[in-house]
Structure 1
Amino acid sequence: MKRMRRGFLDSLRLYVKGGSGGMGYPRFGGVGGTGGNIYVEAKEESNLSKTLKAHPEKRWCSGSGANSRQYRILGERGKDICIPVPVGTTVRLEDQRSIGELNQVGDKILVARGGVGGSPNNQYNGQKGQAHHIILELKLIADIGLVGFPNAGKSTLLKAISNARPKIASYPFTTLKPNIGMAEFKDGRQISIADLPGLVEGSWANVGMGHKFLKHVERTKMLLFMVDINGFRLGPRYPHRSATENVVLLNKELELYSPDLVERPSVLLVNKMDSPFAEDKLKRLLEELQYIKDVCAKFPEEMCPNQFITFDEIIPCSAKENKESISYVKLRLRELLDFYDDQEKIAPELAAKKRAKTKLIETNLQLV
């Protein structure tokens, strides 16, 4: 129950059992009622924690069909049950076969069929309903997914540009569960941004947060990579990685998990530009990214991706100290999302295969 009190679950295993069919009435040829079905339905303001709270024992059983009787030749049908889940839920069987996805409010999937009622075809014996375990797996749906190693400043950025209030501290793995914030504009437009738990090297193989994080990236329209201009070191036993190495490793982790993610529209945010010598480090980073294949030749082979991400823009910023840089980030994210939405409407078949390649730009922000 500890997990339930945290208020966020992204995976839940349930036992579902359709209702049994009612007995027939041989004397009058009566037919028993069909057992109730069990459905999974996407509901507004639902989450898997609420689903668990409704049935802590994780068992959902629909109603049995009524028996046929002298004054009711056709038995009443058993009561159906709908399991409420959030939008973005995938339903699987225990062997990982997918039953379906619920991507819009009102989407409904049959997960356990009720048994047929007793009739001449089955010697008037009602049949048992389907019974098995299912797995509900939530993949967050957001416009933008924040991608970065721990302590890159993702939560600070989310707090600065949206209504989210994530936990922020100066140590790795402050974010232990996804946070979604809404960036609002004066004209009423809103953009959803998901701050996801920090990756570590090997996440594609389920190291650290592993798949628990990466599965949430799959349903975002755009990826916002964030790196610390000073690089990152997880701990004393780990090597220090420069900003360039962080970009390459993030690229590699996503490619290993799902090569399709490398094709997604992406922006690179270079954070903590208020730190000493940041401008010199930024200049070096931009030069190395222009010749990234040559730079990667010096790295161990296991670090280097087969396909490099093409960033639509590289933006230096200080999520904590510089409000002007954050305003620019917010505006550019909206412009890029609108651009790709227009591309999808004009030529969806081309947009799926080819991305517009924008020349890397250095912004003219006065970074402090």
Structure 2
Amino acid sequence: MVRCGSALLRQYGNFIDNLRVHVRGGSGGMGLRKLGGEGGNGGNVFIVSQDGITLKMIKDKYPNKRFVAGVGGNSSIRSLKGAKGKDCEIYAPAGISITNDNGKIIGELNKKGDRLIVAHGGHGGSFKTYFLPSKGQAGIIRMDLKLVADVGLVGFPNAGKSTLLSQMSHAKPKIADYPFTTLRPEIGTLIYSDYKRVSVADLPGLIEGAHLNKGMGHKFLKHVERTKQLLYVVDVTGFQLSSKTPFRTVFEAINFLTKELELYKVELLSKPALLAVNKMDLEDAGEKFNELLQQLQQPQDFYHLIPEEMVPTTPVQFKHIIPVSALTGCGIENLKNCIRKSLNDQDDLENDHYRLEKLQSLRKTLFESI
């Protein structure tokens, strides 16, 4: 059942990354005092993840954003146990977290078929309640989209991330030669010769001050949280957002990106990271690339080139540094292979850690049983 209500949403273009809706569980049914009959419980409100759904589709289909489950049946002479109220299911995309209006996390939906109760139905009237039913839970919940991808592309605007993604995968993001081309996340899929698939998310470009929510700020950074690894993409010639902003060398750009991630959530820097140095087809690119490699080997020796407040606490240790040209396709296959190897290494490490934990748990159990 859908009734009038309100919703708060944020957008980049037509893309909605969070949605605030009202939910209410169904009230329980009346008990039957003279025969001791119990009313049925009210229905629950569930959020169910399903393919092909977006938050915008929910907004468009249910503009009033109010979801109410069915009322439990009353006890009667014909049916002493009232029927349970009908559940209300809200179909939503995978990769969302759900919080209440106070910001407390209720749960997450990470894959197709995940279900989460967001409002319980009331209990039917019974002997314990003098045959009076209770109301269902009611409140505001927020569905917050956080992309789930193997790899997230991290880079300043116009670094060539969209072109790189289109070269690597079957994604067809909007591409143009001006900053902020990527106004919404794009997911590409890398398909290898053995049919292994790796998902790569091209996220809206960062700007300096993103951790303070400048530009697309937190919209970008929250999506980074839900990727297994990071792929920094930088322009070998450096970066300048506009004629009114300072020019940054490629070394500065890397450290500025790192600092933005650190200031938002330092845990992001624990993710394995790769570095793609783009636009290697340009003149003097080879010389600039070799200079960058030298700077990354001993970054502390070059921190004097960076404003003190933007020096990362800990420099990123890239698992692979790959020179590429998204324009010509040079280095793309090598990049794909490095991504595959890095993800495999991470899986092996996590499996080893899991096996070690299981072994330690088994040893503890055996020791305690002696």
Query: What is the TM-score normalised by the length of structure 2?
Result: 0.90
Q: Aligned partners of 2:93, 2:169: CA distance in 1, in Å? A: 22
Percent of residue pairs identical: 47
- Aligned residue number for residue 338 of structure 2: 332
Match of 2:137 in 1: 130
What is the aligned partner in structure 2 of residue 115 from structure 1? 122
SS at match of 2:35: coil
Residues 158-173 of structure 1: matches in 2 within 5 Å? Answer: 158-173=165-180
* 1:22 equivalent in structure 2: 29
Report the residue type matching 1:187 in the other structure: D
- 1:190 maps to which residue? 197
After superposition, residues 44-59 of structure 1 pair within 5 angstroms as: 44-59=51-66
- Cα shift at 1:26: 2.1
Q: What is aligned with 1:358?
A: none
CA distance change for structure 1 residues 324 and 4 in 2, over 3 Å: closer, same or farther? closer
5+ long unaligned stretches in structure 2:
1-6, 358-370
Q: State the partner residue of 2:310.
A: 303
Counterpart Cα distance in 2 of 1:185 and 1:114: 48
CA distance in 2, matches of 1:59, 1:172: 38
Shift of residue 123, structure 1, vs aligned partner = 3.1
Q: Residues 98 and 324 of structure 1: is their aligned pair in 2 closer, same or farther, counting only changes over 3 Å?
A: same
Partner residue in 2 for 1:254: 261
Which residue of the partner structure matches residue 360 of structure 2?
A: none
Give the CA deviation at 1:335: 1.7
SS in 2 for 1:241: coil
SS across alignment from 2:33:
coil
What residue number does 2:348 align with?
Answer: 342
Match of 2:363 in 1: none
Would you say the 8 A contact 1:177–1:196 is kept in 2? yes
Question: Of residues 184, 204, 224 in structure 2, which corresponds to 1:177?
Answer: 184
Deviation at 1:49, TM superposition (A): 2.4
* Partner Cα distance (1:279, 1:295) in 2: 20
Q: Give the alignment partner of residue 140 of structure 1, picking from 120, 135, 147.
A: 147
Deviations 1:57-107 (A, max 9, x none): 111100001112222222111001221222211110111100111223222
Amino acid at match of 1:34: N
- State whether structure 2 residue 219 is matched by structure 1 residue 212: yes
Amino acid at match of 2:332: I
Task: Give the aligned residue type for 2:340.
Answer: R
Residue 33 of structure 1: aligned partner: 40
Give the secondary-structure state (helix, strand or coil) at the position aligned to 1:151.
Answer: coil
Question: Residues of 2 paired with 1:178 and 1:349: CA distance?
Answer: 35
**Distance apart, 1:7 and its partner CA:** 6.2
SS of equivalent to 2:76: coil
Point out the more displaced range, 27-36 or 148-157: 27-36
SS in 2 for 1:27: helix
Question: Which amino acid is 1:201 matched to?
Answer: E
- Structure-to-structure mapping, 1:251-290, within 5 angstroms: 251-290=258-297
**Displacement of 1:350 after TM fit?**
8.6
Provide closer, same or farther for how the CA distance between residues 207 and 5 of structure 1 changes in structure 2, counting only shifts above 3 A: closer
Counterpart secondary structure, 1:146:
strand
2:245 is aligned with 1:238? yes
SS, match of residue 268 in structure 2: helix
Give the whole-Å Cα distance in 2 for the aligned partners of 1:261 and 1:348: 21
Unpaired runs of 5+ residues, structure 1, are 352-368
Q: What TM-score does the superposition give when structure 1 sets the normalisation length? A: 0.90
Whichever residue aligns with residue 337 of structure 1, its letter is L
CA distance in 2, matches of 1:119, 1:54: 38
CA distance in 2, matches of 1:153, 1:349: 40
Instruction: Give aligned pairs, total.
Output: 350
> Which residue number in structure 1 is paired with residue 99 of structure 2?
92
Equivalent runs, 1:2-17 vs 2, <5 Å: 8-17=15-24
User: Is contact 2:10-2:17 (8 Å) kept?
Assistant: no
Runs of 4+, deviation exceeding 6 Å: 1-7
- The one-letter amino acid paired with 1:343 is L
Q: Is the 8 A contact 1:4 1:49 kept in 2?
A: no
Q: SS at the partner of 2:330?
A: helix
**Alignment check: 8 A CA contact 1:231 1:246 kept:** yes
User: Which of 79, 82, 87 is equivalent to 1:75?
Assistant: 82
Identify if the C-alpha distance between structure 1 residues 349 and 171 changes in structure 2 by more than 3 Å, giving closer, same or farther: farther
CA displacement 1:313-345 (0-9 Å, x = unmatched): 211111012x23112111221122112212222
State how far apart, in whole Å, the 1-side matches of 2:104 and 2:304 are.
40
Q: 1:40 to 1:168 in 2, by over 3 A?
A: same
Q: Which moved more, 1:45-54 or 1:214-223?
A: 45-54
Residue of structure 2 in register with 1:360 after alignment: none
Q: Which amino acid aligns with 1:239?
A: P
Shift of 1:348: 4.3
